[in-house]
Chains A and B, each alone.
Chain A
């Protein structure tokens, strides 16, 4: 376990986006994904709270509204651990690029707002891999809220932070909850060296800046696109470089 303060030693690259709902992070990550694929990289994607193994339990807890700050935190950490072992680390070992929509910083923000001890959170997530780049999308709260309400019929109980008892009105509770999360994020920017992006700037302008930073990392790490690998004569199978001894006997060569 290298921890979040030490650079990982995998040949692959981990890029994460963070920010409150409506900060534009998912839009930007989608654009990065398409661009990297176009550039000939194999890209793997994972998002917060999406482990197939854990999802049902989280859903049950939310539906019955039985999650406490501790169990809310632990079930999300379980989910993260499963995705880390299954969908994040293997591509990193294979030298691929992994994009993550939200990462441990989401837990550090949300759970701290719910009153979970900050040091305990950091100890709990100690097994996480430090991202190569972590973008933080900062955006004025009103803009984020407008974006959220435009695309959604109603706010869910935990999403609105109604479990915190800040307000009975979901919209009002959401606003107060997000304000506190932003405060937590601001601390994390310094603590973990997150790269701040203005989520209210024009999409293209943000994207240009992000691409520049990503490209610098790709060059520095000497990441290889599929085209580079072909030139070097590596055999590609499903996008992975495979040495002859790893190949299934008799499997046809990839065209």
Chain B
């Protein structure tokens, strides 16, 4: 199994992290920088792992970028074309949460940072208000994306084991399908005479 997540590529992690710090980078440029990061991970981590028969777990995918930058006024169709080289995942899980629960979780985890609050959008000078306004837009955008790409929505309400249980069911279902496919393929393979002693 291989795990990958945004801004973790050998090529772009450092440059992207640095560029984000000063808040001087344009939105479109940032969306492209993330595309570079994504492409590097796709071609040098995800694809080789898939070819080797591994399961790849990706913490966020192109959908996050689509939502973040659509909210920031970047053309939706351009974003989709720019990321047109991405692979369609076998399973894309969307952890559904309402704004109220999201706020409480973010407060508990002390996650009201500049980007999480969408402060670059100048929605409000107040951190908390900005967080609410920004996340509301993000949830709305994600809802559209869930429909557009048939993401599998899983409620993230409840305890960690409860949510985990829901997720495992979805993953298990996919693995079963894959196993059946594999069995079918193996049974169809011709037996080569003399191939084994």
Q: Is B101 an interface residue (CB 8 A)?
A: no
Known: A60-B11, A120-B85, A123-B82. A85 touches B39 (CB 8 A): no
Q: Please give the distance in Å from B14's CB to the nearest CB on chain A.
A: 7
A71: chain B residues within 8 A (beta carbon):
11, 36, 39-40, 43
Tell me the nearest residue of chain B to A51, going by C-beta: B29
Tell me the nearest residue of chain B to A70, going by C-beta: B39
> Which of A66-92 touch B at CB < 8 Å?
66-68, 70-71, 74-75, 77-78, 81-82, 85-86
Main secondary structure of the interface of B (DSSP, over half): helix
Contact of A81 among B10, B28, B40 (CB under 8 A): B28
Main secondary structure of the interface of A (DSSP, over half): helix
Task: Give the complex CA separation of A75 and B15 in angstroms.
Answer: 11
Max chain B CB contacts within 10 Å: which of A54, A66, A67, A71?
Answer: A71
Q: Is B97 an interface residue (CB 8 A)?
A: no
Residue pair A124, B82 in contact (C-beta under 8 Å): yes
Task: Give the complex CA separation of A64 and B19 in angstroms.
Answer: 21
Q: Please give the distance in Å from B97's CB to the nearest CB on chain A.
A: 31
Known: A71-B43, A82-B25, A85-B26. A66 touches B78 (CB 8 A): no
Cross-chain pair count, CB within 8 angstroms: 82
> Which of B148-184 touch A at CB < 8 Å?
none
Q: Please give the distance in Å from A98's CB to the nearest CB on chain B.
A: 17
A56: chain B residues within 8 A (beta carbon):
14-15, 18
Residue pair B78, A68 in contact (C-beta under 8 Å): no
Task: Give the complex CA separation of A106 and B160 in angstroms.
Answer: 51
Q: Is A53 an interface residue (CB 8 A)?
A: yes
Q: Is A7 an interface residue (CB 8 A)?
A: no
Q: Is A27 an interface residue (CB 8 A)?
A: no
Q: Is B112 an interface residue (CB 8 A)?
A: no
Known: A66-B44, A70-B43, A71-B43. A78 touches B78 (CB 8 A): no
Q: Is B132 an interface residue (CB 8 A)?
A: no
Task: Give the complex CA separation of A74 and B33 in angstroms.
Answer: 8
Known: A71-B43, A74-B35. A66 touches B26 (CB 8 A): no
What are some 20 contacts across the A-B interface (CB < 8 A)?
Answer: A53-B29, A54-B15, A54-B29, A54-B33, A57-B15, A57-B33, A60-B11, A60-B15, A66-B40, A66-B44, A70-B43, A71-B11, A71-B36, A78-B29, A78-B35, A78-B36, A85-B29, A123-B81, A124-B81, A126-B78
Query: A: which residues have CB within 8 A of B?
Result: 1, 53-54, 56-57, 60-61, 64, 66-68, 70-71, 74-75, 77-78, 81-82, 85-86, 120, 123-124, 126-127
